[in-house]
Structure 1
Amino acid sequence: MTTPLPPAPRWTFLTNHTHVLLCLARRPDETLRRVAEQVGITERAVQRIVRDLEAGGVLVRTRQGRRNRYVVNPAVPLRHPLEAHHTVGELLALLEVPASSTLNG
């Protein structure tokens, strides 16, 4: 049984896409149900976000038995024009995610 998280603040600096990416970068074999619990959104919302991240080349999903494993592509540039000169890898490094969770790590 998991410990419930404290209530989420009314707003945060990072998006749900970033939160899902962080969860999967830190624990590449985490279930989407658990990611949803950690982020504080529905499992269906996490599934949509994962599809977005895969379509954008940020995540690569591989099947391991009955589970999925996710690997982050750190070379992908951030999407907004204000941050496009930075990469996903730089964002993860800033947020202290180990490089071993990425394609180049």
Structure 2
Amino acid sequence: AGQLSGGEQQMLALARALLQQPDVLLIDELSMGLAPVIVEAILPVLRQVAAERGTSVILVEQHVHLALGIADRAIVLVKGRIHLEDRASALTADLGRLEAAYMGE
């Protein structure tokens, strides 16, 4: 793995985690080190594989629009406390609420 780029290491770590067939998979900043086009390709596949295996995924992601595209629910934390929680589709339809939550309003 020492010869792999950061993005390749990230994809390898995800593949290794999925091979274990966990009940819950926690992914922190999947997009870090990956080209946006790769992230856009991986997220729908991740959702499909997780659904097929019955794996719940908790995704922490700075690129909210990408995460909302595959999520069932979204939670915004402020100082470790839930500030906003709703269905991803509801937040996608009302980005003003989401932006206000990010601004601490």
**Fold-level similarity (TM above 0.5):** no
| Structure with a larger share of its residues in helix | 2
TM-score (norm 1): 0.30
